[in-house]
């Protein structure tokens, strides 16, 4: 008499068995016992005790996390420098008569951005414990600023000799986000009494 | 083992912002399941420790990319399984052992009443990985095939061979299996 193979038994367990195997296992006590054995082995495997790590490796991971965080900050600074370079490229260009207003707005946005960067340094301390909501808000704002810095850097690379309303708008958006980031940091510092 | 799947969103958000205390909380929550997964897939305890470390180094590096699709444990577990499988492949290349060759086939006269845990240790590295990922962690053959860079049928055949071997090692009845 032909019996189920292990493939058949596993297919039965997965509900993917052939018609023949499904019918056969109903009539064959030996194959039913084999199928029960498969179920029991799997149940026993699942019931094996959890093996715990013999040594604590958190300190290694933590140190790597610190390096990663420092690297991210450096990257963020590079983007800021790239954005500043893009702006400098624009400002070095002689003023275009009718664009005098745009130039003034760009200069103002740049000054505001630099001031806010300085303020941020006073409150942005590595490793400071913040609430989850604050941390999420900071991460969100930093991401948005990084996107704008990327746009500004690309702008500087593609159109270094131009200044128009779109560029001014990008810088003003950056100032707005920086201001909100500083506000979050100031509020957080007050919250923890620093 | 059962893993508590739910991690507060706020903890994940803090970890994504680089909060060290939150990262440590995630490490403490998942160090045992990650180590257990690696240890069951790998033969060597030190290799499993290395996988634990490599997994969390990856978690720290990539946690900002986790967008909350599915449980965090599923995301971490996939990283751990991938790291463990990479180690298996590396060891197989070093040993020039084919993926589907039975480990210790020669001279294998294991006592009939060998318990399951010891029998499990006698499977090949690949078979152990497939059995653990499929039967315990609940991965599908499609997912295992993708993780291993192999086909679905490879995963299925490895599982069938592993169960047949476990059955033999455990000295289960002569019954239907020839």
Structural domain boundaries of chain B?
A: 8-96, 99-178
Residues 45-74 of A with CB under 8 A from B: 45-46, 48-55, 57-58, 60-62, 64-66, 68-69, 72
Q: Which of A71-80, A173-182, B15-24, B73-82 has the highest mean pLDDT?
A: B73-82
- Is A83's pLDDT higher than 80? no
Establish if A15 touches chain B: CB-CB under 8 angstroms: no
Four-point Cα dihedral A108, A113, A116, A121, nearest 10 = -150
Establish if B154 touches chain A: CB-CB under 8 angstroms: no
Residues B116 and A48 sit within 8 Å (Cβ to Cβ): yes
Question: Does A3 sit within 8 Å of B163, measured CB to CB?
Answer: no
- Is A72's pLDDT higher than 70? no
Mean pLDDT confidence for A163-191? 79
Q: Say how far apart CA B136 and CA B162 lie, in whole Å.
A: 14
| Widest distance between CA atoms in chain B | 59
Question: Does A68 sit within 8 Å of B32, measured CB to CB?
Answer: no
DSSP per-residue letters across chain A: -----HHHHHHHHHT---HHHHHHHHH-HHHHHHHHHHHHHHHHHHTSPPPPPSS--HHHHHHHHHHHHHHHHHHHHHHHHHHHHHHHHHHHSPP-GGGHHHHHHHHHHHHHHHHHHHHHHHH--TT----HHHHHHHHHHHHHHHHHHHHHHHHHHH-TT---HHHHHHHHHHHHHHHHHHHHHHHHHHHTT-
Residues A62 and B24 sit within 8 Å (Cβ to Cβ): yes
Q: Which residue of B has its CA nearest to A13?
A: B135
What is the CATH topology of the domain spanning B8-96?
Rna Polymerase Sigma Factor; Chain: A (1.10.1740)
Residues B114 and B166 sit within 8 Å (Cβ to Cβ): no
Please check whether the two domains, B8-96 and B99-178, share a CATH topology. Answer: no
- Chain B residues whose beta carbon lies within 8 Å of the beta carbon of residue A54: 45, 49
What is the reported pTM? Answer: 0.63
pLDDT in tens, B46-105: 999 999 999 999 999 899 888 877 789 999 999 999 999 999 988 777 766 554 444 444
pLDDT at B46: 94
Q: How far is CA B159 from the centre of its chain?
A: 14
Q: Say how far apart CA B69 and CA B56 lie, in whole Å.
A: 19
pLDDT at B114: 53
Residues 74-133 of B with CB under 8 A from A: 116-117, 120, 131-132
Three-class SS state of B50: helix
Opening angle at CA B78, ends B77 and B84, nearest 5: 85
Q: Say how far apart CA A179 and CA A177 lie, in whole Å.
A: 5
Confidence of residue A85 (pLDDT cuts 50, 70, 90): low
Three-class SS state of B121: helix
What is the CATH topology of the domain spanning B99-178?
Arc Repressor Mutant, subunit A (1.10.10)
- Chain A residues whose beta carbon lies within 8 Å of the beta carbon of residue B27: 58, 61
pLDDT in tens, A115-171: 787 777 666 555 455 667 777 787 788 878 877 877 777 666 666 556 577 888 888
| Among candidate residues A136, A144, A137, A188, the one with its CA nearest the CA of residue B13 | A136
End-to-end Cα separation, chain A, in angstroms: 82
The structural domains of chain A, with segments of one domain joined by +, span: 6-46, 58-191
Backbone phi, psi, residue B106, to 5°: -75, 140
B62, two tokens: 């990539």
Burial A6-31 (b: 16+ CB within 10 A, else e): bbbbbbbeeeebeeebeebbeebebb
Four-point Cα dihedral B80, B85, B87, B89, nearest 10 = -170
Scan for tokens 């070093």, then name that residue.
B94
């Amino acid at each position: 008499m032909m019996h189920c193979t292990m493939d058949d038994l596993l297919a039965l367990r997965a509900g993917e068995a052939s018609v023949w195997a499904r019918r056969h296992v109903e009539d064959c006590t030996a194959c039913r016992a084999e199928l029960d054995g498969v179920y029991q082995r799997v149940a026993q495997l699942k019931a094996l005790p959890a093996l715990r790590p013999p040594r604590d490796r958190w300190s290694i991971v933590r140190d790597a996390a610190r390096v990663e965080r420092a690297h991210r900050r450096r990257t963020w600074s590079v983007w800021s420098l790239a954005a500043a370079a893009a702006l400098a490229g624009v400002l070095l260009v002689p003023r275009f008569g009718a664009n005098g207003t745009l130039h003034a707005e760009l200069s103002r946005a740049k000054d505001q951005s630099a001031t806010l960067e300085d303020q941020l340094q006073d409150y942005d301390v590595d490793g400071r414990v913040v609430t989850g909501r604050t941390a999420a808000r900071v991460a969100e704002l930093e991401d948005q600023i990084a996107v704008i810095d990327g746009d500004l850097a690309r702008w500087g690379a593609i159109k270094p000799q131009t200044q128009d309303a779109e560029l001014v708008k990008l810088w003003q958006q950056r100032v707005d986000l920086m201001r909100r980031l500083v506000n979050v940091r100031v509020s957080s510092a007050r919250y923890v009494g620093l | 083992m059962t893993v508590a799947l739910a991690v507060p969103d706020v903890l994940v958000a803090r970890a994504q912002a680089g909060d060290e205390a939150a990262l440590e909380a995630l490490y403490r929550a998942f160090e045992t399941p990650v180590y257990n997964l690696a240890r069951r897939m790998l033969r060597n305890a030190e290799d499993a420790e290395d996988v634990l470390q490599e997994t969390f180094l990856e978690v720290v590096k990539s946690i900002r990319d986790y967008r909350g699709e599915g449980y965090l444990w599923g995301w971490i577990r996939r990283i751990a399984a991938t790291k463990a499988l990479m180690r298996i492949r590396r060891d197989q290349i070093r040993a020039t052992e084919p993926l589907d060759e039975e480990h210790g086939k020669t001279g294998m006269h294991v006592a009939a009443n060998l318990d399951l845990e010891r029998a499990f240790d006698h499977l090949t590295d690949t078979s152990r990985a497939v059995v653990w990922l499929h039967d315990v962690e609940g991965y599908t053959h499609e997912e295992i095939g993708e993780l291993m860079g192999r086909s679905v049928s490879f995963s299925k055949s490895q599982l069938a061979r592993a169960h047949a071997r476990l059955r033999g090692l455990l000295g289960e009845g002569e019954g239907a299996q020839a």
